C-alpha cells in the first residue's frame, strides 16, 4: 500500500510545520511528476488537437511540452528561497525539503531538495526550456514528432526525478529511464547508421549502470538499506566505489567509456544539445557529487585516481577534436574534454574545487548547448557537417556566428565569460591540493580547446564561401542560440550570483576538504 507522507529537515535540525511546509513538499513532488507524467499525455494532446482542426490547436502538443518543462522550472525556482535561505544567501541558512512517497523493505522512497539538488535541477530546467523552444523550428518538418516530444520531456522528468532522489533504487530507476529515452532520441531518424549508434550508446551506458547497480547491492548487503538518509556518512568499500564509478564514467562519456558520445552526433541537434551538454553527461557528475561528496565516505585513494582518469580523458579527447572534421563530433569531443574539468574539481574535494565544478556544470551547459544548437542551424543551412566544405557563413548567418563565438569563448575559458571563472577555480584547487602536474595537463587541454574551437570558427564562418547556404534558421532557433550566448556572457559578468549559489551549496556537503 502506498502511503504519502511529508517531512522537512533543516540545516540546523529545525522541523518545518504548518501549511507552508506541506505546500513545499507538494511543490517538490509536482516538479518531478509534472514533466514525467505530462510527457505521456503529449501524443494524446496532439491527437485531440488534430481532431479539432483549428489553427490554434496545431501547435498544442509543442506548447504543452514546453509548458511541462517551464512548470517544473518555476516550481523548482519557487523552492530556492526556502532551500537557500530568505534574503541574502546564508551559508548556514535554508531548509532541506523532503517528500516521502512510501516506505518499504528497501528503505524510504523519498525525494529530497537540498542546495545541491535544487542547483542542478535549475540548471537542467533552464537549458531544457531553451532546447524545447528551439525544437519548434528544428523538428517541424520531420516525422515521429510525437515520440520526439514525449521522449525529450520524459527524459527531462527522469533527470529531475534522479536529481531529487534520496534512495539508491529510485535513483537507479530514473537513471535507466534516461538511458531508454536517450536511446530512442539518438536513433530518431531511424536509418541503419542512426540505429546502430543508438544501440551502441544504450549498450555502453546500460553496461555501466548494471555495474553501478551491483555496487548499490553491495552497499545494501553491508548496511541493510538503500536509503541515503540512513546511509549518511557511511564508509563504503573500494569495490563498491569502483562499480559505481564505472556507471558514472559510462554515463558521462569519460575515458575509456567515451566512444559512444561522438557517435551520438547522428541525432537531431537539439537532442545532442540535450544529451551532450545539458543533461545526460551531467547525470554522472551529479551522482558523483551526491554519493561521494554529499553522502558516503570513500578512501583518499580515489582522490588521486579520478583526477588522473579525468586528465587522460580531457587531453585525449581534445586531441581528437583538433583533427576531426565533423562539426558535431568536434563539439562532442570537446564535451568529453570539458567534463574532465568537472570531475577534477569534484575529485579534488576542497571548497574551491567543488564550487568551481558546480559552476562549470552551469557554464558548460549554457555554452555547449549553444554550440550544438548553432551546429543545427549550420547543418540545416548547408546540408553538411564537414567543416572543410564550409566557409564565409558569417555573411549569411551573422547571428549564429556571433552566438557560436560567444559560446566558444565561454568553453575556452576567455574572461569575462562564465567558463573562465569555473576553469580557473578548478585548476587553482588542484594546485592548492599539491597536484600541480594535473593542473599543467588541464592547462594544456585548455590551450587545445582554444585552438580547435578557433579552427572551427575560422573554417565555418570566415574566408570565402565554399557552399551555398540558406540564411539564418527559424525565429525560434535563432532566439534560442542568441539566448544561450547572452547567458554565457551574463553568467560571467554577474558571476557573484551563481558563485553564491555554488558556495552555499557546498556547505551542505560533509565530504568537502575544508
pLDDT digits (tens, 9 = 90+) for 445-456: 999 999 999 999
Q: Is residue 11 part of a domain?
A: yes
The predicted structure's pLDDT at residue 7: 37
Helices (H), ranges, 326-397: 327-348, 351-382
Q: Is residue 375 part of a domain?
A: yes
Residues 6+ apart with CB under 8 A from 147: 43, 184, 188
The predicted structure's pLDDT at residue 92: 47
Q: Does residue 58 surpass a pLDDT of 80?
A: no
Backbone angles phi, psi at 109, to 5 degrees: -85, 100
Question: How many angstroms separate the CA atoms of 510 and 514, rounded?
Answer: 10
pLDDT band at 88 (very low <50, low <70, confident <90, very high): very low
Q: Does residue 244 surpass a pLDDT of 90?
A: yes
Q: Is residue 144 part of a domain?
A: yes
Q: Does residue 60 surpass a pLDDT of 90?
A: no
Q: Is residue 325 part of a domain?
A: yes
CA distances from 439 to 116, 148, 162, 170, 410 (A): 26, 41, 32, 37, 19
pLDDT over 70, % of the chain? 91
Residues 6+ apart with CB under 8 A from 281: 251, 252, 253, 261, 275, 335, 339
Give pLDDT tens digits for 479-498: 999 999 999 999 999 999 99
Grid cell listed for 148:
520526439
Cβ contact 465:127 at 8 Å: no
Q: Is residue 215 part of a domain?
A: no
The predicted structure's pLDDT at residue 409: 96
pLDDT band at 49 (very low <50, low <70, confident <90, very high): confident
Q: Is residue 233 part of a domain?
A: no
Domain that holds residue 338: 5-162+299-508
Q: Is residue 147 part of a domain?
A: yes
Count how many domains the chain has: 1
The predicted structure's pLDDT at residue 20: 45
pLDDT band at 19 (very low <50, low <70, confident <90, very high): very low
The predicted structure's pLDDT at residue 86: 56
Q: Is residue 210 part of a domain?
A: no
Give pLDDT tens digits for 129-167: 999 999 999 998 888 889 999 999 999 999 999 999 999
Amino acid at each position: 500500500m502506498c502511503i504519502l507522507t511529508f517531512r522537512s529537515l533543516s540545516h540546523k535540525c529545525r522541523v518545518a510545520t504548518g501549511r507552508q511546509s506541506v505546500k513545499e513538499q507538494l511543490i517538490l513532488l509536482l516538479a518531478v511528476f509534472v514533466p514525467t507524467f505530462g510527457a505521456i499525455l503529449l501524443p494524446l494532446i496532439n491527437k485531440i488537437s488534430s481532431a479539432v482542426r483549428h489553427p490554434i490547436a496545431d501547435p498544442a502538443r509543442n506548447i504543452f511540452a514546453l509548458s511541462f518543462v517551464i512548470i517544473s522550472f518555476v516550481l523548482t525556482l519557487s523552492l530556492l528561497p526556502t532551500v537557500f535561505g530568505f534574503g541574502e544567501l546564508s551559508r548556514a541558512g535554508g531548509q532541506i525539503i523532503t517528500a516521502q512517497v512510501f516506505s518499504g523493505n528497501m528503505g524510504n522512497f523519498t525525494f529530497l531538495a537540498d542546495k545541491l539538488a535544487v542547483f542542478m535541477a535549475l540548471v537542467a530546467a533552464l537549458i531544457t526550456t531553451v532546447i524545447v523552444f528551439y525544437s519548434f523550428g528544428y523538428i517541424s518538418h520531420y516525422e515521429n514528432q510525437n515520440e520526439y516530444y514525449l521522449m525529450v520531456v520524459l527524459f527531462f522528468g527522469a533527470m529531475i526525478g534522479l536529481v531529487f532522489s534520496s534512495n539508491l533504487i529510485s535513483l537507479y530507476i530514473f537513471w535507466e529511464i534516461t538511458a531508454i529515452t536517450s536511446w530512442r532520441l539518438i536513433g530518431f531518424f531511424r536509418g541503419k547508421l542512426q540505429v546502430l549508434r543508438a544501440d551502441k550508446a544504450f549498450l555502453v551506458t546500460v553496461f555501466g549502470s548494471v555495474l553501478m547497480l551491483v555496487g548499490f547491492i553491495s552497499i545494501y548487503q553491508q548496511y541493510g538499506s538503500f536509503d541515503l538518509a540512513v546511509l549518511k556518512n557511511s564508509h563504503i568499500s573500494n569495490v563498491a566505489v569502483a562499480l559505481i564509478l564505472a556507471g558514472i564514467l559510462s554515463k558521462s562519456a569519460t575515458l575509456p567509456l567515451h566512444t559512444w558520445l561522438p557517435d551520438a552526433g547522428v541525432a537531431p541537434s537539439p537532442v545532442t544539445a540535450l544529451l551532450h551538454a545539458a543533461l545526460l553527461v551531467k547525470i554522472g557528475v551529479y551522482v558523483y557529487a551526491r554519493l561521494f561528496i554529499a553522502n558516503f565516505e570513500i578512501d583518499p585513494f580515489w582522490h588521486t585516481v579520478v583526477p588522473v582518469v579525468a586528465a587522460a580523458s580531457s587531453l585525449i579527447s581534445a586531441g581528437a577534436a583538433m583533427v576531426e572534421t565533423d562539426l558535431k563530433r568536434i563539439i562532442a569531443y570537446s564535451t568529453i574534454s570539458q567534463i574532465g574539468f568537472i570531475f577534477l574539481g569534484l575529485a579534488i574535494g576542497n571548497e574551491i574545487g567543488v564550487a568551481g565544478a558546480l559552476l562549470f556544470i552551469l557554464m558548460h551547459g549554457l555554452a555547449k548547448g549553444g554550440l550544438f544548437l548553432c551546429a543545427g542551424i549550420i547543418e540545416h543551412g548547408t546540408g553538411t557537417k564537414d567543416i572543410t566544405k564550409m566557409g564565409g557563413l558569417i555573411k549569411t548567418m551573422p547571428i549564429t556566428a556571433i552566438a557560436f563565438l560567444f559560446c566558444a569563448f565561454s568553453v575556452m575559458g576567455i574572461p569575462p565569460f562564465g567558463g573562465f571563472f569555473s576553469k580557473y577555480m578548478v585548476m587553482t584547487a588542484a594546485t592548492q591540493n599539491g597536484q600541480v602536474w594535473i593542473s599543467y595537463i588541464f592547462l594544456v587541454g585548455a590551450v587545445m580547446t582554444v585552438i580547435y574551437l578557433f579552427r572551427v570558427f575560422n573554417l565555418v564562418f570566415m574566408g570565402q564561401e565554399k557552399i551555398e547556404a540558406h540564411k539564418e534558421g527559424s525565429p525560434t532557433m535563432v532566439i534560442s542560440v542568441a539566448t544561450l550566448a547572452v547567458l554565457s556572457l551574463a553568467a560571467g559578468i554577474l558571476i557573484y550570483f551563481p558563485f553564491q549559489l555554488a558556495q552555499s551549496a557546498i556547505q551542505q556537503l560533509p565530504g568537502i576538504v575544508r
